[in-house]
Amino acid sequence: MSLPTTHQAAAIVEKGKPLSLITRKTPTPGPGEVLLKVQAIAFNPVDMAQRDVGLFIAAYPAISGSDVAGTITLTGPGVSSVQIGDRVTAFASAFFAQGNPDYGATQEYVLVAETVLTPLPASWSFVEGCVLPMATFVAWSAWTITGILRVWGAKRVFDYKAEDVVEQIVSAAKEDGLKMTKGMHAAGSSVQQLGVDVMGALREEGAVSKYGIAPIVDKEVKVPEGVETAFLTGPQPEERDEWLKWVFGTWLKENLAKGRVVASPHIKVLDGGLAAANQALDNLKAGVSATKLAVEL
């Protein structure tokens, strides 16, 4: 595999401006890192917040994006679990890296730590693989914070647009004799009040219910007595590496190999490769429903 000296990236050159295609020097992996040739990228709301409001950006130009799949082209000192040529999915988290351009997903080559790589089985395409890392990270963050992992497989479904949705959920839960001790908020930020109200109405007498919130926690929300909220994220940096290594190097690797993980929801691939990254973020901002947006390089 020939190695480039420069490559293309869709960069945030200034807060609030559309992504720009730039050519940048291809970095060399340091200890415990690999250089990944990016073959598919999926987009998440945090990428949009990095572009539009400068969330988790230390300096410009910055590169956003966390979800990639691709092929390993170089390994840094000490890397032992993967080899050049391996097909992997990777959590190239631009928000942990504060937008450092060597580490954001939205470019042709990206540096990734060995701890956040998962080999892709041959039956998985790069596009299918690229939707896994952020979803896996959030599900395991929910487990770490509240003890919830199985967030799908619903027995009852409610329309969140119904005016009396809180009453509907509470009365259905009471009918089923349910108490609610753990919850996870995975939708947009506008509806956190609804979640904490449900938790408050269904908590066990005398016990504290925990509610993990994936979006930035809305400070205006009135949290009922007996409910604790927490922003969903993994452990603090000093413990994070070991945790990520287990999540991606053991749990996801084993469950992919056993066929227990599927690529979901429906993936919509935008034409145009990196040049379509800005459009993908605009589409996310406009609102997507049960769809994961991705590009192929």
Ligand X SMILES: NC(=O)c1ccc[n+]([C@@H]2O[C@H](COP(=O)([O-])OP(=O)(O)OC[C@H]3O[C@@H](n4cnc5c(N)ncnc54)[C@H](OP(=O)(O)O)[C@@H]3O)[C@@H](O)[C@H]2O)c1
Give the interface with ligand X as residue ranges (CB under 6 A).
44-46, 134, 138, 141, 160, 186-189, 191, 214-215, 232-233, 284, 287-290
> CB-wise, 154 or 290, nearer to ligand X?
290
**Beta-strand runs (E) in the chain:** 6-11, 20-25, 33-42, 67-75, 87-91, 109-113, 117-119, 182-185, 209-213, 227-231, 266-270, 291-296
Query: Is 35 or 135 the residue whose CB approaches ligand X more closely?
Result: 135
Question: Smallest Cα–Cα separation from 184: which of 154, 163, 204?
Answer: 154
Q: How far is the CB of 45 from ligand X (least distance, A)?
A: 3
Closer residue to ligand X (CB): 109 or 137: 137
Least distance to ligand X, CB of residue 259, Å? 24
Give the C-alpha separation, 112 to 238, whole Å: 18
Q: Is 48 left (phi over 0), alpha (psi -120 to 50) or beta?
A: alpha
Helix (H) or strand (E) holding 175, with range, is helix 165-175
CB of 11 to ligand X, least distance (A): 21
Angle at 59 between CA 58 and CA 61, to 5 degrees: 135
When the beta carbons of 95 and 126 are compared against ligand X, the nearer one is 95
Give which of 216, 225, 150 is closest to 183, Cα–Cα. 150
Nearer residue to ligand X within complex by CB, 29 or 104: 104
* Burial of residue 119, with CB atoms counted within 10 A of its CB: 0-12 exposed, 13-18 middle, 19 or more buried: buried
**Nearer of residues 8 and 283 to ligand X, judged by Cβ:** 283
Cis preceding linkage at 215, omega within 30: no
CB of 211 to ligand X, least distance (A): 13
Residue 212 beta carbon to ligand X: minimum distance, rounded to whole angstroms:
8
Least distance to ligand X from the beta carbon of 66, Å? 8
